[in-house]
Each structure stands twice: as structure tokens, then as C-alpha cells.
Structure 1
């Protein structure tokens, strides 16, 4: 027994030396890292130490922004999400040197995010259908107006993204790389007509259904993406989308047009068809991020509760595989909600409608006519009720689990 204990102690001692265990842990998948961390306090400490460095969001985005904390504070103020290839690279611990940074933000914040990029040294690069001036271009070109001859790769890229449900506008910015020897850094703002999450859930496939908020990173289909390296297409794949899918095939992902027959049964992993999904549920890989130094948004009005969370955290959806694979949800909107939210189930939607219709009538009765004061002053007459969304969702989910 003494010999066995000695060998076990020797093996465990490996996980007390960062240079040694880094070489081991860097080769493990997310699930393997979690399982290793459950073995002992020593391995748990090693995994935590490694994860703090391997999933360093400030380092990840510093390639694009020298002051990542300021950018993440912008995220917190504007509900902006990083998604697309950059989010995938962060969670997969890989690097694609040719990759852009895609920012998904509610349409109301798109102009603010664009101005911030300009102040950070980025220059607006219009496609052939946009005005050269960002101020003139913002909001002026929608997907429906994007017609004519495609003249370059930027046009092709934007045409592809305008086909995504929920996308309202796309604005490209570039800045010279820090050493000047590499291609320019490119950041794209994709404005959402409802919520940024709707755009992400309607990507061409599950491999890129990942998002980074200011306070957490999420992978909605982590087992298929990082353990099995396969993805499921969503909706009808166009020729332009097939070009994007080919890139992920080259990078090692197998792309499926349909689920396997045995995966079509209700709630089967790793795609969980017909299961009501929530951002941050147990099927989601949720990675909390260090928010030291982040300035969160101020209350929308004096009587409104502060946002201590990102709006993406309280949304739900269902992956349906009847006929054609697609995401189903309802989009909620109210004049007393600062943001819109996705709701998967009719009963919860009915509860929200009942509350917000009555509350909305009261708020509008309290506020004087909008024509007699500035928009900013008028908004201060309101109490904004987004803080009720997480409460409604938590109670609804708790009752659903009891049933």
C-alpha cells in the first residue's frame, strides 16, 4: 500500500508545478479539464490556475483593443456580444490569424459602438452599397436594399450575414496592425433588429453558436463543438453559407445536414432537440470572466433598477427538427423594457404580457406627453422594468422543475 500511495503522491505532485501541468492541461478538452478538476484538491487548483491563464479574455481581445477593460465596459453599457470565429477561438484555445472580430449589438447601440471604434483609431470601411461616411451610412442600408453586383469580398461577406435572421445592419471598421507588417485588423458591428442572441441562434450551424458578454462566455452546444468536433446546420444552407462551412471543415469539424435517427428523440445530447434551452443552463458551457475594472451601466432612470447582468443571460429557445432544423422562440418587446428578450414557451410569454401590458399603461399615464419635453427628459419619467425578466424566468423555471 505504501508503494501505491507513493506513486499516487508522485503523480499528484505533477499538478503543483505550472510549467509541468500546463503541458498536460493544454492538450485536454473542456470536459476532460472539468473531470480532472474533480479528482482532488490539487488537480482542482491546477485546473483553476491553468484556466485563469488559458481563458484570459483581456489577452484575447488585446489584439484588437490595447485597453480591453475599456472595451468590455462598452460591452456592459451596450449589451454587445462577441461571437463568430473569435468566440470560437477563445473557447477552443486556438488562433486564426485571418479572423475578424464580430460584435453583435442591439440596433439602438450600433452608432455608439461605431463612434467608440473610431475614437480607438479604427476607420469605417463601407461596402459598395454604403456611404463612405459612417454617420451617413448608419441605419441607411438594410439587407433588403443590398442589391446589385457584388464587387469584392466585403460585399460577399455582408451579403452572407444579411441573410441571417435578426440582422439589421453590418458596418466594417479597420485599423493598421500594431507592427504594420500584417493585414489590417478588422472589426465588424452587426446590429440586431431584436436581440443579438437571435442573430447567433440563426447562424449557419451550431459550431459558431457561442457568445462572449462582458461578464461571461457561453457555448450553447459545447459537447458537439469541442468534444466531438461536429456541427449541425440550421435552416436551409445557401451557397454563400456553404463557403463558410467549408472553412470549418478544413479546421476539423464535421458538418451534418440532419441529426442521426437516434438523436432525434426528445432532449438527446448533444443537440437536445425539443428541449427548452436557457442561456447558462446545464447544457451550456458557461465560463465566468474576471470583471475587475469593468464599469457597468448606470440605471436608465432614477427609479429603474441597475443592470447587474447582461441581457443575454435571460433568454430561451428550442431547437426543432421537424421537417427542417430551426430555432423556435417568441420575441418579447415592451415600451417599458430597455431590451428585447427571446422566450421559448407560450405560458411564460403570457405571464410577461399580462404584467407588462398593465404596467405599461401605468407608466404611460404617469409620463407627460412626449411632445412637450426632450426624449432624455421623457425617459426619466419612466421606471424601466428589465429587472423583472430574471425574476419571472427564475420563478417560471422553478415551477416547471417541480411539475
Structure 2
């Protein structure tokens, strides 16, 4: 299913994959809004129960339809996120209190990941591979560049603090050397691509009954921009499976 709809795992799960450390955290999953109904039903079939937030309807199907009507302009859109890349977030929980978050992306799952609070969480897993977009900064230098993409996301400061407590230092402005170095993952003088030479990519064995679909997420590119103490990631969302 992941290969057909472009479901991505990110958040702490992506970070843990590369560090081999374990944290008590939710499993964050991302896909385009239209595909969320399939993913949500899949979680329900795996004995996860939908846990509505205060503004959500009691059943997942009903709340998905509410949000679909909002996207069609005939209903109200009520979410916890002031983030243009996110439509809605749904929580699922099993009998052992393990929780999965299903994050609905407006255009692209990768667009949501590139909107995160800092570079240290820009790691994700697709049906073909695990990717880290800023591996040298994150895992070699044990640091994270705080990113401001022009939006305030609730919990972003708490998110930064969480990784400070995990041993990472905060970079507010990278050095000129790193900005100009074309081998640096923080380079600003040349564009970045998913799975370029600065990315860590760990292939994952595909266990499906048919040949896996291409990893369309690798069609995406982005660019770092630095203005005084403001760090931005510039991209144009490419829609499609795994993007």
C-alpha cells in the first residue's frame, strides 16, 4: 500500500532509524489528503482505534468526509495546525496505547517534512529507502539548523527543545564556509535534490508480491536560502505517489 499512495514515515521514527536509538514517541505517518481515507481504514483494520481530538467527529470516516467537504469549499476546516502544508492530523491508538499519527498533506508529504522546525527531523522512510537530507549536520556534527519558512507551527519550540535534550546543538546561522561548500548539506550556492550526494540513502528490501513502484520522492529538489538570521528552504511541491 505504501508504494501505491506514497505513505512516508518521519518524525522520531526517521531520526531513530539512523541513530539506532529508541525513544518513547508516536509513529508519525504522512501522505496526501486524498489517500488518507485508505490509510486510516488500514489502521482501523489493524486493530487501531480512532481517537478524535476535541474538534473532530467521533468516527474517522465521518471526520475525513468533514475535511473533504471543507476542501471542496462547502464546510468548515478546523485543525490544530496553522500550517498551509497540513490539512488535518488524526490519531490512532491500539490496546497497548501505542499511537500512530496520520498527517494529511495538502499537496505533498515531502512538503510537510520540509516545513519542519529544523533540519534534524528531515529524515523519512518510503517503501524503497530511508533518507536523511541533512546527515552531516545532524549525525556527524550533532547539530540542527533552525528553519523559518514563514509559518508558526504549534509545538515547534518544544520540538527544537526535544532534540536539544537528545544531545543536538542549535545552529541559527551556518558559517560562510558551509554555505559556499558544494559538498555541505547546508550549501546555498547550488540546489539540493532528494538522494543527491549530500543525502544519506539506505535502500529497504521490498517485500511486496509485485515489482515496487519507483520512488517518486526523488523527483523533488529544494534550495537553502539565508537572510541575516533567517534560514529558509525553498521548494515547489511535486504531486504524485511518494512525493
**TM-aligned CA deviation for residue 212 of structure 1:** 0.2
Between 318-327 and 213-222, the greater mean CA deviation after superposition: 318-327
Task: State the TM-score, normalized to the length of structure 1.
Answer: 0.54
Q: Does the 8 A contact of 1:230 with 1:256 survive in 2?
A: yes
Whose strand fraction is larger, Structure 1's or Structure 2's?
2
Whose helix fraction is larger, Structure 1's or Structure 2's?
1
**TM-aligned CA deviation for residue 170 of structure 1:** 0.7
What SS does the corresponding residue of 1:273 show, helix, strand or coil?
A: coil
The one of 197, 216, 220 aligned to 1:315 = 220
Equivalent residues in 2 for 1:173-192, closer than 5 Å: 173-177=92-96, 184-192=97-105
| Greater Rg over alpha carbons, structure | 1
Task: State the TM-score, normalized to the length of structure 2.
Answer: 0.87
For 1:318 and 1:283, locate their aligned partners in 2 and report how far apart those are by CA, in whole Å: 13
Change in CA separation of 1:145 and 1:195 when aligned onto 2, cut-off 3 Å:
same
Q: Does the 8 A contact of 2:28 with 2:103 survive in 1?
A: yes
Q: Does the 8 A contact of 2:15 with 2:121 survive in 1?
A: yes
Count residues with an aligned counterpart.
234
Q: Does the 8 A contact of 1:121 with 1:175 survive in 2?
A: yes
**TM-aligned CA deviation for residue 191 of structure 1:** 1.1
CA RMSD, Structure 1 to Structure 2 (Å): 2.4
For 1:254 and 1:139, locate their aligned partners in 2 and report how far apart those are by CA, in whole Å: 42
Equivalent residues in 2 for 1:304-383, closer than 5 Å: 308-323=213-228, 324-332=230-238, 338-339=240-241
The one of 209, 220, 226 aligned to 2:139 = 226
1:138 maps to which residue? 64
Equivalent residues in 2 for 1:241-320, closer than 5 Å: 241-265=156-180, 267=182, 269-291=184-206, 293-295=207-209, 308-320=213-225
Q: Does the 8 A contact of 2:130 with 2:203 survive in 1?
A: yes
Equivalent residues in 2 for 1:4-403, closer than 5 Å: 74-96=1-23, 98-138=24-64, 140-141=66-67, 145-146=77-78, 159=80, 162-177=81-96, 184-235=97-148, 240-265=155-180, 267=182, 269-291=184-206, 293-295=207-209, 308-323=213-228, 324-332=230-238, 338-339=240-241
Change in CA separation of 1:109 and 1:145 when aligned onto 2, cut-off 3 Å:
closer
Instruction: Give unmatched runs, 5+ long, in structure 1.
Output: 1-73, 147-157, 178-183, 298-306, 342-403
